[in-house]
Amino acid sequence: QVQLVQSGAEVKKPGSSVKVSCKVSGGTFSDLFFSWVRQAPGQGLEWMGGIIPILGTANYPQRSQGRVTITADESTATVYMEVSSLRFEDTAVYYCAVAPDYWGQGTLVTVSS
């Protein structure tokens, strides 16, 4: 049974960066594929990218490339997602997940001036 516990809500200014963490317990951390998914208010689910810790290299859809960085720390079994150059439209709940079964509780990131 994999459990994913995410860091708390953040309020950020436009142009700044945010780094959200996802602490993992259970399962074999190094060879799971961890995804980050976001959901803007009233909108659908958007896959932001993912990583297999043992490989170290993240995969991103075209839309995420350049502003999203996903990393993993095997020593602490934690996955991170950083979004840079934040815009108002990045306001969303961000989830880490091991699809399809395991999801974190979500982290609300609010971009506000």
Partner 1 sequence: EIVLTQSPGTLSLSPGERATLSCRASQSISSRYLAWYQQKPGQAPRVLIYGASSRATGIPDRFSGSGSGTDFTLTISRLEPEDFAVYYCQQYGVSRGTFGGGTKVEIK
Contacts with partner 1, residue ranges (CB under 8 A): 33, 35, 37, 44-47, 49-50, 52, 59, 61-62, 95, 99-101, 103-106
* Residue (35 or 113) nearer to partner 1, CB: 35
Least distance from partner 1 to the Cβ atom of residue 80, Å: 17
* Residue (33 or 88) nearer to partner 1, CB: 33
C-beta of residue 6 within 8 angstroms of C-beta of residue 57: no
Strand 68-73: give its sheet, edge to edge.
3-6, 18-25, 78-83, 68-73
